[in-house]
């Protein structure tokens, strides 16, 4: 039986600020990536979100980002690879502790925002990230953009990884995502996102901006919780996947 | 053979800011309490400080505080006990991760600043703190003010603890410290601090502000690294302790 | 003709975080209090909010608070009065600059959250606040709780002030607000808030928790933008005020 | 009579953190650039530093930087020019207020760190900066790297400016500074810095890394307060300037 993981960024509030639709979306995904307090999240938000995931019995991942609350971790930072290593240690440590305090196991690590995008293209940066993950727990699964340097770096040190694909973003023929700043880089129509998702999951292929069809491994599909369409999208997707007898479950589960 | 632990707050810099004399002091103490990033410390400072402690082969503790960099964790915060619990989980998690990444074991937890002082007097606050420590690792030792509620709360749940005493602070007859804001609450003369330290270590007694002599358990003595006298004080103290055949080693070591 | 000012806290977002219903509420009030970047607000949020107020041609006030984004300025901070003075200077300076850059005049200053509540009861703290305001611009109007120490301190140095009243909060017979943490301290029913507002505006009186009716000056009424009812409340209130021929305009306008 | 301004970055502490040697250096310079709270500085540090400058009767400038305390404003941020404009408004507003509260006039604005370096090469970024300055006070003097885009942008809108030169940094033949990350980019020997300073001040020339001698306007010379040599350097420089009958005074003074 075929299977796919659906993951969603969660716990991205801070203090009184709330964002996303965690309570609604979390029921339809099989894993969540929780912000660790530097680009979003605070100790109370993290605890609440881990508890929410535990109640739904889905996999919990750390979602480390740059220390930039005002920019929500979406601005690039120049850091040495040693600094990156420590930045990752810090944030995974936070999430391991909240998992431990609620008697669950941290399942994966997915870098956030600018860090995710930079790692996708930078082998040395990716090596710093995967080394930090391995030093803390070699069973943690790295979630990275399919075909990216982050996946390559994880593979290099035999760290488990999951190739992530996107339903609502337009791909370039080299497997990278078209930048959000370019008009038309995000599918507005639900039906387009659904079609891209299903083609990725069932065929491992995606039609790129230039019309070319490329092959991408698809272990996990990202649901953007801050997208207004996220809720209807994920509900419909689950129904279609059920019709196709495709199992939705965390990466690595049996 | 008698023994005592000498502990020192370390890793209290942030970014380019440095404070204290970590490199000098650390050679004369047997354990350090490292700031976890909320009132001081950042991922790079923490990594450097854990490494420094590892090189000296001394015990590493987490030093969690209120999230208030501008006030250095010295201002009281009104938080619910659930919030306090999560605040502690967050910060211990950070320090466990840095220890793990350098293959050492986290040894103890000592609350910082206003949190330390508030916990000393508030049983419910102390219960939230020790519960967080126990949920993460029941072998972690709680460092708290001798005779305080924090020690009482640790004892209540059978968590190991160490009673902390101070050489340079004036005591009240109930075992509390005279507030720093009161003139004369800190011994200016090195000799006075030395005498108080040695009486505490050898007799378990201290002479209070009102002349009364009270009994205090003394498992660990705090060295204030930001005190200009800290370096000559700790050097001289070590010599005196050696003369008295008193072993300086982390709490719980054999 | 009688008149009243309706004020609302605005610009309380930060980075990608949004809160309140600024665009909707702002059309029905005559003045806004804009967060200055320490408990909420960032340079971009502030600029956008000042522009919004300018477009509606309503009065702009600074809304300074404690430097505590995680606690949204609602936690008490121990600061010396000199520190408070500088905290106020900092935040008014920010708002004066954004007003200047958009060619409007800063109209008033209203402390936020815990600072507002502490000032209401503490004459020395209030003196530090009004001294800062006067040193920057003696024409700025202080918005403070009716009957409070802040109003008394402004009066003491002949700084213009406006007594603020609340429609949705229960009063104590000494003129203070019942603490939010007490059940029943906030009117849930729109009609109760409307009645309290109109009695305050037309009679200068309010019925307290103990049934007693006390007299309060009412120069400005606070609309809580983060309250779900704020929008229907303020719309209905405006209609009632129009029926009563009561003019809604900023404090001090002719 | 010839003249030169000596400027120094001051007020770069935060909370309990201190950095630089403000009290010592400030006696030998004619103007200071004070951090505004985003990359360094807090309301209390700013107030103290403005007072220090006022006591020495020297010119006070705002020293705005990126909102990155951990990176001390030395990391590049991607911001739109509208965001940069508001970032500058915010920080100048802060410094104008502290000057007003102590009855002095803000004299100039000098961008800090990465913002200074980026502005030197980016005309649109520089235009956003000078427009913010002009909108707040068209008499403020822009301090920028001699020959840079920032100077060009100020000139374009007839905003007063001062060309800044460096004594301890190696120049490239296009007038830019050799990056700090390159070995040998900073003069270690006091005598080399002194010679470069005097040649710049008396001849308006500097010998570049490639041996070439280029011409640079020199209105103001930067003293790096965080450099260990800063104090002996500036003391000796003042003596030499006195011998040469060169007046040390703020830019624009008569």
> Which segment of B146-155, C189-198, D56-65, D218-227 scores lowest on mean pLDDT?
D218-227
Which one, of B192, B229, B218, B221, lies nearest residue B207 by Cα?
B192
Best residue in D17, D46, D67 for a mutation probing chain B (most B CBs within 10 Å): D17
Exposed / middle / buried, residue B181 (Cβ in 10 Å: 0-12, 13-18, 19+): exposed
Please check whether residue B15 touches D, CB under 8 A.
yes
- What does the pLDDT read at residue D110? 98
Query: Distance, in angstroms, between D71 CA and closest chain B CA?
Result: 6
Question: What pLDDT is attached to residue A251?
Answer: 97
pLDDT at A1 over 80: no
pLDDT at D138: 98
Separation of alpha carbons D248 and D161, rounded Å: 17
pLDDT tens, residue by residue, A126-177: 999 999 999 999 999 999 999 999 999 999 999 999 999 999 999 999 999 9
Which of these, C69, C67, C94, lies nearest to C83 by C-alpha position? C67
Q: How confident is the model at residue D200 (pLDDT cuts 50, 70, 90)?
A: very high
CA distance B219 to B199: 13
Q: Please, which pLDDT band fits residue B226 given cuts at 50, 70 and 90?
A: confident
pLDDT band with cut points at 50, 70 and 90 for residue D227: confident
The answer on pLDDT for A193 being more than 90 is yes
Looking at residue C244, its pLDDT comes to 96
> Rounded to two decimals, what is the model's pTM?
0.96
pLDDT confidence of C1, banded at 50, 70, 90?
low
Contacting subunits of D (3+ beta carbon pairs below 8 A): A, B, C
**Contact (CB<8Å) C14/A69:** yes
Residue C240 falls in which region: left (phi positive, over 0), alpha (psi -120 to 50) or beta: alpha
The confidence score (pLDDT) of residue C51 equals 98
Q: What are D112-124's pLDDT values in tens digits?
A: 999 999 999 999 9
Residue B1 has pLDDT above 70, yes or no: no
How confident is the model over D151-156, as a mean pLDDT? 98
Q: pLDDT (tens digit, 9 = 90+) per residue, C112-123?
A: 999 999 999 999
Q: Parallel, antiparallel, or unpaired for β C213-215 and C220-223? A: unpaired
Residue A95, chain B, CB below 8 Å: the answer is yes
* Least reliable range by pLDDT among A186-190, A191-195, B63-67, C57-61: A186-190
Supply the pLDDT for residue B251. Answer: 97
Query: Of D36, D38, D40, D117, nearest to D76 (Cα)?
Result: D117
Return the closest-CA partner of residue A97 out of A139, A39, A18, A43: A43
Identify the pLDDT of residue D1.
64
pLDDT score, position A20: 87
From the list B192, B225, B199, the residue with the least C-alpha distance to B27 is B225
Q: What is the pLDDT of residue B90?
A: 98
Mutation site, B18, B70, B71, B113, interface D, largest D CB count within 10 A: B70
Helix (H) or strand (E) holding D59: strand D59-63
What is the rounded distance in angstroms from the CA atom of residue D31 to the CA atom of residue D100?
A: 17
Kindly list the residues from chain A whose CB atom is less than 8 angstroms away from the CB atom of residue C14. Answer: 14, 17, 69-70
- Structure confidence at residue D202 (pLDDT): 95
- Average of per-residue pLDDT values in chain C: 96
| Confidence (pLDDT) at B180 | 84
The CA-to-CA distance between both ends of chain D, in Å, stands at 11
**Burial letters D150-164, b for 16+ CB under 10 A, else e:** bbbbbeeeebebbbb
Q: In percent, how much of chain D has pLDDT > 70?
A: 99
Quote the percentage of chain C above a pLDDT of 70. 99
pLDDT, one tens digit per residue, over A7-41 is 999 999 999 999 989 999 999 999 999 999 999 99
Rounded to a whole number, what is the distance in Å from the CA of B249 to chain D's nearest CA? Answer: 31
Q: Is the pLDDT of residue B240 over 70?
A: yes
* Cβ proximity of C84 and D44 under 8 Å: no
Residue A79 neighbours by CB distance under 10 Å: 21
* Res. B50: pLDDT tops 80: yes
Q: Is the pLDDT of residue C104 over 70?
A: yes
Q: In A, residues 56-85, which contact D (CB 8 Å cutoff)?
A: 67-68, 70-71, 75-79
Query: What pLDDT, on a 0 to 100 scale, did the predictor assign at position C229?
Result: 86
Task: Please state the rounded mean pLDDT for residues B132-157.
Answer: 98
């Amino acid at each position: 039986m075929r299977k796919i993981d659906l993951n969603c960024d969660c716990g991205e509030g801070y203090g009184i600020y709330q964002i996303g639709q965690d309570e609604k979306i979390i029921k339809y995904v099989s894993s969540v990536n929780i912000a660790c307090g530097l680009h979003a999240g605070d100790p109370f938000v993290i605890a609440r979100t881990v508890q929410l995931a535990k109640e739904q019995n889905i996999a919990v991942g750390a979602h480390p980002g740059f220390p930039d609350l005002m920019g929500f971790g979406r601005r690039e930072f120049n850091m040495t690879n040693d600094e990156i290593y420590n930045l990752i240690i810090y944030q995974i440590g936070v999430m391991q502790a909240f998992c431990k305090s609620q008697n669950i196991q941290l399942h994966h690590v997915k870098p956030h925002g600018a860090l995710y995008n930079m790692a996708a293209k930078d082998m040395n940066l990716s090596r710093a990230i995967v080394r930090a993950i391995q030093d803390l727990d070699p069973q943690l699964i790295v979630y990275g953009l399919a075909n990216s340097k982050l996946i390559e770096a994880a593979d290099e040190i035999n760290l488990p990884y999951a190739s992530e694909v996107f339903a609502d973003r337009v791909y370039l023929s080299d497997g990278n995502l078209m930048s959000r700043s370019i008009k038309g880089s995000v599918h507005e129509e639900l039906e387009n996102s659904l079609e891209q998702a299903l083609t990725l999951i069932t065929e491992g292929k995606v039609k790129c901006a230039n019309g070319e069809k490329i092959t991408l491994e698809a272990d996990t599909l990202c649901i953007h919780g801050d997208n207004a369409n996220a809720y209807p999208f994920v509900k419909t997707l689950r129904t279609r996947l059920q019709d196709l007898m495709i199992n939705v479950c965390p990466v690595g589960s049996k």
